[in-house]
Chain A
């Protein structure tokens, strides 16, 4: 039996096509991935991301523990700020990529659904500080509202005083009288939008209100559109672009790795060494110019030399092009480099381009 989120009944009622993902029964799509994808780019889309994990870190040394775990420098974080960061093993490989929410006293870590147990164990194991770690994933639902109309619809739907104005900030607020909700201006689509953390009892009601308030301008979206949207935005997916064998430097996440900080963090020595010695491979953005769609695992060649593989690949719905992220050996990672992606034993021409594939106009 797979787990169900608090919004399961909503998905079924809306005709969601359900699949197993990270132990949950989740909607892959409702009507059409293409339609849902375009709605997020042009209007607004609503995602149930309650399968994501939430780990609360509290106590006098919570900041020390969090900094020990993540690669980005969190020392200057103010309450109400969010940071994206990899979380590494001593080897420099990734345990996960997470969002750090800095509250007034303590922290909330938002982790990938498929990694919740692993992350929780990892964090507890490395908690040599005066801090407490609690996995609150099962108590928390998460709704993402994404797209250019997200703010307008959210304000219409729920009774709250204000919304976070800056990207990667959040507020702790009551929603419809229910305490302890978090609304952050974050997302995984490349559009403006919000992620709402709330208790399981409240989630179906808020979901319903958002659907009604959005009317023609909103649609529920499944995991299918979530994946095509994040890929266009060049955002990594753990298990594809990141893993225990891939370091954040290889994955092109340099700006989320603070190697010159005062504080020690897990993996720092390995990442400093890798930075000093030079990388062997690097994440690249690829566009196929020949016919075909690259998929995860397809091998990449340059003049018969095997130079890497696709970590993700799809048709870009917004750009109407075949795109992919690839891990490419140095020195073959140059922008403009012509390559071939091997799809079902046929070589399809492609080129390395500057990422991301899609960037919204601000």
Chain B
């Protein structure tokens, strides 16, 4: 399974790409998209939303399943990927190129490396 080494990961199967200044792109991992199956809808947050640790950032729906992406840290939504409104299936097709949101993360907690993530999903 593809787990790019330049990314960070959450235990909830999200990837984070550091953009500098405490900002990160967030998406879902190959493991997550495969487990979900055909993704048909993504409910995005609003730009400016403040998400507390444990709260839902976005909801990803496949044909059969509804999956909430909960954040393990406090963060603010800087940007959302509006492309997903019309093409949610991009999360299946190219999960590491398709981001869901750009976040300002105040304190990066509960985040693991690519090696640790690989270990987690073994």
Contacts and interface: CB of A to CB of B under 8 A. Distances in A.
Given A33-B37, A315-B41, A224 B59 contact: no
A333 interface: no
A221 to B, nearest CB: 13
A186 interface: no
B37 A293 contact: no
Given A224-B37, A291-B85, A344-B59, A33 B64 contact: yes
A297 to B, nearest CB: 11
B43 interface: yes
B37 A315 contact: no
B85 A34 contact: no
Contact of A293 (B38, B40, B85): B40
B100 to A, nearest CB: 16
Interface in A206-264: 224, 227-228
Interface majority SS on A: helix, strand, loop or mixed?
mixed
A43 interface: no
B43 to A, nearest CB: 7
Interface string B41-69: 10100000000000000010111101000
A28 interface: yes
A293 B41 contact: yes
B66 A34 contact: no
Interface string A311-349: 000110100001000000000000000000000100000
B72 to A, nearest CB: 20
B61 A293 contact: yes
A9 B38 CA distance: 25
Contacts, number: 38
Interface in B61-113: 61-64, 66, 85
A126 interface: no
Contacts of A147: none
A291 B66 CA distance: 15
Interface in A277-323: 291-293, 295, 314-315, 317, 322
Contacts of B38: 32-35
B64 A292 contact: no
Contacts of A28: 64
Given A291-B85, A344-B59, A224 B40 contact: no
A291 B63 CA distance: 15
Interface centre among B40, B62, B63, B85 (most CB of A within 10 A): B63
Nearest to B38: A34
A29 interface: yes
Interface of B: 37-38, 40-41, 43, 59, 61-64, 66, 85
12 contacts: A28-B64, A32-B38, A33-B38, A33-B63, A34-B38, A35-B38, A224-B64, A292-B41, A292-B43, A293-B61, A295-B66, A317-B63
Given A34-B38, A317-B40, A322-B41, 6 more contacts: A32-B37, A33-B38, A34-B63, A293-B66, A314-B63, A344-B43
